Amino acid sequence: MVKIYLPSQGAEEWRRLLADPAKHWREGYSAMCLAKCWENAIGLPPEIARLLTSVGPSAELLVALPEHKVPLPGSNRGDSQNDLFALARAGDHTVAVTIEGKVDEPFDQPLGLWLANASNGKRKRLAFICDLLGLTQPLPERIRYQLLHRTASAVIEARRFKTDAAAMIVHSFSSTRRWFEDYAAFVALFAATAEPDQLVCVRPEGAPPLYVGWASGEIHDHKTLKAMDTRP
């Protein structure tokens, strides 16, 4: 894969990067909401900037890469395709941030389903992620696998870019904060408590320190929409 990235000319350019541009690019769904929000912000969206002030003052965006793929060991689907990867500066600290956009879509499969008849590759990948995040198996079956590998991506990229901290942030556009309970269950794995619109350091002694957060974006009414997030 060529590692040359061109400046964006608008939200529509994000569409071609999707795993399924026809299916995933729809008004009111996470891919389009995230693209429009970040493009309109011309920098960090204010709700993201507020969270990153937990790391340091005056948070600013350095670079953002939509649909950023991070290789993981095991399984035939070798990459975690993050909705957005950003390098940000907060005071004297640089932060590697993976962003998971959400409206009504769930966080993919719970571990109990993802591990059903699991291959050796899947088990190898989960062991790698748990070791990276300092988690002990077995994990509760209700934990959403997507949150695990998105957070692992943040740590991997933080080490690759040698940033001062890593962060995984759920950027939600749901008026009811749908699926927050799944995020909270994930945060509880680290003996921490999740709160909306807060960034919590779940591994302060990690290398690098790891943060997770839930940011509330511009609210939309999606009562008639169907959950359809099937991206890897």
- What does the block give as tokens for 138? 């077995």
Q: Is 135 exposed, middle or buried (0-12, 13-18, 19+ CB in 10 A)?
A: middle
Reported pTM: 0.91
The pLDDT value recorded for residue 77 is: 67
Question: What pLDDT score was predicted for residue 221?
Answer: 43
pLDDT of the residue at 20: 79
Per-residue pLDDT of the chain (232 residues; tens, 9 = 90+): 678 888 899 999 999 988 878 777 888 789 999 999 999 999 999 999 999 999 999 999 999 999 999 999 986 667 899 999 999 999 999 999 999 999 989 999 999 999 999 899 999 999 999 999 999 999 999 999 999 999 999 999 999 999 999 999 999 999 999 999 999 999 999 999 999 999 999 999 999 999 999 999 986 444 433 333 333 4
Confidence at residue 231, expressed as pLDDT on a 0 to 100 scale: 39
Whole-angstrom distance, CA of residue 47 vs CA of residue 50: 5
Tell me the one-letter amino acid at 26: R
Contact 113, 102 (CB under 8 A): no
* Neighbour-count burial for 200-217, b at 16+ CB within 10 Å, e otherwise: bbbbeebebbbbbbbbbb
pLDDT at 226: 37
